Structure 1
Amino acid sequence: MSFITVASATLPSVPLDFKGNLERIRESIRLAKAQGARLRTGPELEVPGYGCLDHHLEGDTFLHSWEVVAQILNDPICKDMLIDVGMGVRHRNVRYNCRILLTYRKIFMIRPKMSLANDGLYREARHFTAWSKPRTIETYYLEQVVRDITGQRTVPIGDVVLSTLDTTVGCETCEELFTPSNPSTYMGLNGVELILNSSASHAELRKLTTRLNLIQNCSRKLGGIYVYSNATGVDGDARIMYDGSSMIMCNGRVLSQSAQFSLKPVEVITATIDLEEVRSFRSSISRNVQAAAQADFPRVDCDICLSRPADEIFVSDTLTLSREISLKILDPMEEIFMAEAVFLWQYLTRSNAAGYFLALSGGLDSATVALFVFGMAKTVLQSINSGEDNTLVDLRRITGEPEFVPKTPQDIVSRLLHTCYMGTKNSSKDTKSRAQRLADSLGAYHSDVTIDQTVSAHEDIIKQALKFEAKFLVEGGSEAENLAKQNIQARNRMVVAYELAQLSTTARKLPRVGASLLVLSSGNVDETLRGYLTKYDCSSGDIAPLGSISKTDAKLFLDWARRKWDMGIIAEFLDARPSAELTPLAAGEQDDEADSEMGLTYAELSAFGLLRKVEKLGPWSCYLRLLVEWQDRPGFGPQEIATKVIRFFRFYAINRHKSTVITPSVHLSAYNPDDNRHDLRPFLYVVNWNWQADKILEHAAGLEKKLAEKKIVTTSSNSNDGTGTDEVY
């Protein structure tokens, strides 16, 4: 029997951090070797960082990537190991996304990606070209910096597999797995026993199970060992979060899995497997008929033996045969908690700001963002208590306190979060009290200010310029005046927020005096989709932790945190009616979901978001779908549904321009309307959607007429049989 130990590394994708990426790759090789592995693979484009975007077009990126590979090649840690690393390669003036298989002072082959991710968040075809020659290899001429170390002038590049002394290894990069005709199927039929998949798959709520099951089923169908490595952490544009969950599988059984979210800079998992398990699993006659007919792959010989004899495993203190484990999947609220914690912490440590500033309104959205920061503090404390020295070093650097050792999450929050309630004469005592008590419970430094003077000063300027004094609707003003008077309050809060963020450390005489805080905005994805926000108000900031999370999920998260963290005050935020508090108290409580405000409930906005983006339905198709999905909702006939559809698309079109200035948010929602690579739609529409609206209204009217006629017939029929009961639709 032959036992093989393989390793999968989970690393952050940090664009152009060649020094840091090299250190993390080296550390992952060291950890893999220490655990007895003779094969190590890592995430997609791990050398330059996946999210380099248009830096992938620059010659410097390729040059520095080869310089990093040269240092890996020259490191004795690679002796007797097969190392798989990812980077961009220019071959005959075409750029490819590649895997490079190497060992100490030798490169065996370069394998380019054959199917590029080019939808949703991804635009790989902008930067790379897919290798379009199946089972074909060409000659790649190595750079001088590599030739000086290996003595090689050329290596094979193409759709090729590697034959070691005891098995065969093939590469499949991320998107290739998800294609209907994926390379690993043909490699497996051609006798490849080890498939390495290097990925940069982003986190999205409730989607991990789908991805992991697909990977698991691929291994189950083919038989063989499947080593999946995924990136972790925040990408360079701060909109993508990679969620790790690297895996090692054999014949469909999961043998090892890394954490879904983690603050660790390097995480390595290993598994030890008997190669005979693969060969026995593949012994079925039906598979062998297809395998015998499979066209051959070009093979590159490798003089490394990856397996070990049974007696060596028996006497080893570190190696044991791996057993099947269950997949570890976080529930959606834990996903939100951990994704936001890692996002906020990594953004803070990379930007080197002194902390965060948040306008705490006393409402649900800003409370949720405050709890995200508290969750970050809990995660940081847990990481420190588990012995992660890097986390403590980063915390001391951010706070400027070289001896700081936190005891509670509040110790961390008190140094990293400044909250402020910015009241006006339209604000209520309830929201002010809630904001203060929440800040106290989290440990935040809290300010309480009134901005009426600045609002009045701005209104005086407008009065002077236009010789006109605007009034609220309740005071006899017009809709335009009412909106303007609300917006000036909202925009003043943004101005105050940024000045407080810039001066907070100076005024408080903190160790990092003069360093700015990052401003957190608190808009949610549903309000952004509808455009229910004031441009350049507190929906504007440096980052938007809630920006890709629905109002429904925000409420669910608050309830989860209330129970999980034993914070009774959160119940008050859940029970409060959503209100911007921008109109006079005499006008009554402002209800954001009322027809006079948003005109749509948050649940309805979520439904439209999914239909528009995920289902890719236009107004007419949305209307037809909702006729079925909403037919049992009380009071929702065809006319009501038609009105809702037309209202949504009109609001969406009118306010689409606001997406040009959306504060960056980590992408956790499939219908995130952020235009940055994810939602490429126009900003300037004919906002009434005349053709579509006319078609919808005509259809709804006809349907209502048919329903009315059917009701009359049914009522008449029921009267004849003596029941006297009308059928309700």
Structure 2
Amino acid sequence: MRVLKVATFNLNQWAMDFDSNLKNIKESIAKAKLAGAVIRLGPELEITGYGCEDHFFEIDTVSHSWECLKELLTGDWTDGILCSFGMPVMNGSDLYNCQVVCMNRKIIMIRPKTWLANDGNYREFRWFKAWKKQDQLVELHLPCEISEALHQKTVPFGYGYIQFMDTAVAAEVSDELFAPNPPNLELALNGVEVFMNAGGSHHQLRKNEVRVGAIMRATKNSHGGVYMYSNHKGCDGGRVYYDGCACVAVNGDLVAQGSQFSLKDAELVVAQIDLDVVSNIRKSSSSFQDEASRSVPSVKVPYSLCHSFDLETGLSIPIKKSKHSTEEEIAYGPSCWLWDYLRRSRATGFLLPLSGGADSSSVAAMVGSMCQLVVKEIANGNEQVKADAIRIGNYKEGEFPIDSREFARSIFYTVFMGSENNSEATKSRAKVLANEIGSWHFDIRIDSLVSSFLSLFFAITGMRPRYKAFGGSKVENLALHNIQARIRMVLAFMLASLLPWVHGKPGFFLVLGSTNVDEKLRGNLTKYDCSSADINPIGGLNKVDLRSFLRWGAVNLGYSSLADIEAAPSTGELEPPLPKRSNNYNNIKGDEKDMGMTYEELSIYGKLRKTLGCGPVSMFKNLCNRWGATLAPLEVAEKVKHFFKYYAINRHKLTVLTPSYHAESYSPEDNRYDLRQLLYNEKWTYQFRKIDELVREVGGDYEKIQRREISSCDGKLEAASINGRVSKIYKRESSCNFEKLGSNGGVGIKVLAGGVGFGSGDVGL
């Protein structure tokens, strides 16, 4: 029996913080040795941190990596244990993303990455070159300082594996697992039994199921094997959160798995495996025996990794794959990201403009969840979290957080910035939630500030803008919205900088934003309003998922008021309600009516636009197929045009969005994730003309929809006609949105408020 004990890790590294990264690496090696492991695997680019980005252009970044590696190799860290370290390495004039495999104070082999990540959040082609010489290992001359220290002049560099006396081991770097022809297939046919994958995978909702499934499949079926996977965990300085889940799979079964969300800086995942189960499955497979493969070069090491079976320790047995619900991912991912950002920015707390609505309440709940995680981790003996919490919370000597509400009180301000347009209900909801979480809460009225701005404007122009409810124009109404929104932003930053001083606390607080991914996509926000903050934990989350999270949090986080907040109508409360004309008229407009599209529709538009790469025409075709059972092509065309019009109009807002936690595949994040132009022709003349042509093909003669306003005693109605035939009757709810009341070909009369109705059918306009 060939027994092998392996250790893989989740490491919380920080880009360009070589001291902290080296400390975590050393701690991981010490834990691996203590567990009796003979292989230690760390994540991709662990020495530098993955997210260095254009720092990889700097020669210092490469030099410092070698210096850290020298410190590891000149000490006793690699004695008796095979260690794989991630770092950038120069070969000639090219920079490669590499795994440096070391043992007994020597570098055995350097494995450059062959399949680079270059989509979404990743731009590896910008900094690195992919290794394409897959039939050879070349000799790399080590830097002089390293060569002298290790008494080693060269090292094998390239694609290959390491042949020990009792087994063969190979590296497979991150995305190579998902390559069309992953290296592990070919390496297995060359006798490799143990695969070490150094990962750098970020959290995205519902993504981990795919990742762990791919790891399990890598050693399933005929070729078997032991697959080790490591990953970063935490915020390494950017918009993404790396979500760990280091694991070990054997012959398609998961035998060890680490956590997806935690506050630990170095988390060990260890497994003890009988390698004979790998050789047995390969011997029993005739297809594996007959499969041809080109010969892969190897490095021979006269050393045995396996040991005899230890009855007391036993072998790792298959376990059930750990999986979080979407609501749990939302609760814990942003919370862990917030904690890393807070402790590493040297800020001493957060300030959140809390409106009592779904979005800002979701952010508040995430901060509350963070406080719960911190207190729990301290109770579990995590000294690093304890030290950070004491510093951030400004605790006296000998004191530390033992209650999440008390900890929230010391690091979290919430502010309700109300105006004459806000209801008592939203104000009350904000206060109740703040009390449940434990934040230091303020109720502030901004009416005097708004009045001061308007008085200044009157002094300059002699004119006063009015709300639409009082006869004002659309321009006036929008300007009054924006004044309130931008005042709140300025006030939030003032309070974040001065309230700690008022309460005798050092440092500053970070302002949290609360704009969701759908609002960004639609541009349904004011530029430089409360969407402008230091960081935004929900900027990559859609409204549908957030509402589900609120319902979950009401029960599982202990914040029962979240259920009432989720059930309340969504409205910005930036203007007085329109005067009531009858008891049947609903004056409250929700966000969806204001936008002219539902949040469910926005999620679909977002996925088609970004994930599937659809422009207006291809989106129209897709949605005709998707919605054809309930909507006519003409109606689909209207929806697509409406979306792209407002996307184009508001595209400029996306260039100045607050840095957000990435969680959704269709995020319109302008910083390197979704790179698009700033200025659009909002009419999309060519694209919309092509859509019109397609509508004609499927729907007969087509003319642009004509809308005619019809007066009634209850406000305004509109009829939409095609070629003089009434297609739809609308009740106008705002200047650009309509509620469908009837359609062409229907039967009977739709009774409206005040008893006014229209019969549908052939009515000329």
| Same fold, TM-score > 0.5, yes or no | yes
Is 1:398 equivalent to 2:399 in the alignment?
A: no
- 2:12 match: 12
Partner of 2:365: 371
Displacement, 1:703? 3.2
Question: Structure 1: how far apart are the matches of 2:294 and 2:577?
Answer: 77
For residues 669 and 331 of structure 1, the distance between their equivalents in structure 2, rounded to whole angstroms, comes to 15
* Paired amino acid for 2:619: C
Q: Write the distance in 1 (CA, Å) between the matches of 2:432 and 2:658.
A: 27
Which residue in the other structure is 1:280 paired with? 280
Q: What letter matches 1:294 in structure 2?
A: S
User: Displacement, 1:563?
Assistant: 1.9
Please give the residue correspondences for 1:160-199 in structure 2 after superposition, counting only pairs within 5 Å.
160-199=160-199
The letter of the residue matching 2:517 is V
SS of alignment partner, residue 308 of structure 1: coil
Aligned to 1:721: none
AA matched with 2:642: R
Match of 2:383 in 1: 389
Q: 2:226 and 2:608 mapped to 1: Cα distance?
A: 39
Is the helix fraction higher in 1 or 2? 1
Structure 2 residue aligned with 1:726: none
The SS at the match of 1:227 is: strand
Counterpart secondary structure, 1:10: strand
Per-residue deviation, 1:114 = 0.6
Match of 1:213 in 2: 213
* Inter-CA distance 594–91: structure 2 relative to 1 (3 Å threshold): closer
Does the 8 Å contact 1:74/1:104 carry over to 2? no
Amino acid at match of 2:534: D
- Give the equivalent residue in structure 2 for 1:725: none
Q: Distance in 1 between matches of 2:267 and 2:205?
A: 22
Aligned to 1:348: 342
Corresponding position: 1:530 with 2:522: yes
1:697 Cα deviation after fit: 2.8
Q: Is 1:309–2:312 an aligned residue pair?
A: no
Match of 1:559 in 2: 551
Conservation of the 8 A alpha-carbon contact between 1:396 and 1:403: no
**Residue 666 of structure 1 aligns with which residue?**
661
Residue 333 of structure 2, aligned match among 339, 345, 361 = 339
Question: Which one of 512, 534, 537 corresponds to residue 542 of structure 1?
Answer: 534
State how far apart, in whole Å, the 1-side matches of 2:611 and 2:158 are.
Answer: 35
Q: What is the CA–CA distance in structure 1 between the aligned matches of 2:611 and 2:579, rounded to whole Å?
A: 39
Distance change >3 Å, CA 280–CA 594, structure 1 → 2: closer
Spell out the pairing of 1:100-499 with structure 2 (5 A cutoff).
100-221=100-221, 222-237=223-238, 239-291=239-291, 293-310=292-309, 313-314=310-311, 319-401=313-395, 402-499=397-494
Deviations 1:584-608 (A, max 9, x none): 245575524354x211111111110
Query: Counterpart of 1:96 in 2: which secondary structure?
Result: strand
Q: What is the CA–CA distance in structure 1 between the aligned matches of 2:513 and 2:578, rounded to whole Å?
A: 28
Q: C-alpha displacement at 1:463, in angstroms?
A: 2.6
Structure 1 counterpart of 2:705: none
Partner of 1:518: 510
Distance (Å, rounded) in 2 between the aligned partners of 1:3 and 1:428: 68
Residues in 2 aligned to 1:117 and 1:21: alpha-carbon distance in whole angstroms: 22
Aligned-CA RMSD value = 1.8
2:27 touches 2:266 (CA, 8 Å); kept in 1?
A: yes
Contact 2:283–2:289 (CA under 8 A) maintained in structure 1: no
Letter matched to residue 118 of structure 1: N
Aligned partner of 1:466: which letter? T
1:572 has 2:567 as partner: no
**8 Å Cα contact 2:13/2:20 also seen in 1:** no
Distance 2:546 2:498 in 1: 31
Residue 606 of structure 2 is aligned to residue 606 of structure 1: no
State the match for 1:86 in structure 2.
Answer: 86
Contact conserved, 1:203 with 1:668, CA < 8 A, in 2?
A: yes
Q: Work out whether 1:98 is the aligned partner of 2:95.
A: no
Q: One-letter code of the match for 1:231?
A: H
Letter in 1 for 2:654: S
Partners of 2:187 and 2:591 lie apart in 1 by: 55
Deviation at 1:267, TM superposition (A): 0.6
Q: Which amino acid in structure 2 is aligned with residue 46 of structure 1?
A: E
Q: What whole-Å deviation, never above 9, does each CA across 1:251-307 have from its counterpart, x for those lacking one?
A: 11111011011110001111111111110011145334444x322221112233110
1:49-91 per-residue CA deviation (whole Å, 9 max, x = no partner) reads 1000000111000111001101111221321111110100011
CA contact (8 A) 1:81 1:304 kept: no
**Is residue 21 of structure 1 aligned with residue 15 of structure 2?**
no
| Alpha-carbon spacing, 1:176–1:587, altered in 2? closer, same or farther (3 Å) | farther
Q: Any idea what SS the aligned residue of 1:15 has?
A: coil
The alpha-carbon deviation at position 616 of structure 1 amounts to: 1.2
Unaligned stretches of 5+ in structure 2? 581-586, 703-721, 723-744, 746-765
Quote the residue 2:672 is aligned against.
677
Q: In 1, distance between residues paired with 2:290 and 2:470?
A: 80
CA deviation after TM superposition for structure 1 residue 637, in Å: 2.2
CA shift at 1:44, angstroms?
0.2
The superposition leaves residues 136-192 of structure 1 with CA deviations (integer Å, 9 ceiling, x where unpaired) of: 111111123322321001111111211112111111101111111111111111111
User: Which amino acid in structure 1 is aligned with residue 599 of structure 2?
Assistant: Y
Aligned ranges 1:603-682 → 2 under 5 Å: 603-633=600-630, 636-682=631-677
Does the 8 Å contact 1:581/1:590 carry over to 2? no
Distance in 2 between residues matched to 1:518 and 1:459, nearest whole Å:
30
Structure-2 separation of matches of 1:622 and 1:86: 42
* Cα offsets for 1:70-115 (capped at 9, x unmatched): 1111221321111110100011111000011112321111110011
Which stretch shifts more, 45-54 or 566-575? 566-575
How far off its partner does 1:446 sit? Answer: 0.6
Aligned AA (2:75): D
Unaligned runs of 5+ in 1: 709-715, 717-729
| 2:359–2:514 CA contact under 8 A, matched in 1 | yes
The answer to whether the 8 Å contact 2:390/2:401 transfers is no
Amino-acid identity (%): 40
Partner of 1:505: 500
Alpha-carbon distance between aligned partners in 2 of 1:246 and 1:217, rounded to the nearest angstrom: 16
Please say if residues 3 and 273 of structure 2, whose CA atoms lie closer than 8 Å, have aligned partners that are also in contact. Answer: yes
Question: Structure 2 vs 1, CA of residues 19 and 566 (structure 1 numbering), >3 Å: closer, same or farther?
Answer: closer
Residues 80 and 103, structure 1, Cα contact 8 Å, conserved in 2: yes
Q: Secondary structure at the residue paired with 1:307? A: coil
Following superposition, the deviation at residue 574 of structure 1 comes to 1.4
Q: Residues 434 and 285 from structure 1, CA distance in 2 versus in 1: closer, same or farther, beyond 3 angstroms?
A: closer
Shift of 1:405: 2.7
How many matched pairs?
A: 698
d(CA) in 1 for partners of 2:534, 2:528: 12
Is the 8 Å Cα contact of residues 450 and 483 (structure 2) preserved in structure 1? yes
Asked if the contact 2:433–2:559 (Cα under 8 Å) also holds between the matched residues in 1, the reply is no
The question of whether the paired residues in 2 share the 8 Å contact of 1:47 and 1:68 is answered with yes
Alignment correspondent of 1:727: none
Q: 1:208, 1:256 → 2: CA distance? A: 15
Structure 1 residue matching 2:230: 3-state secondary structure = strand
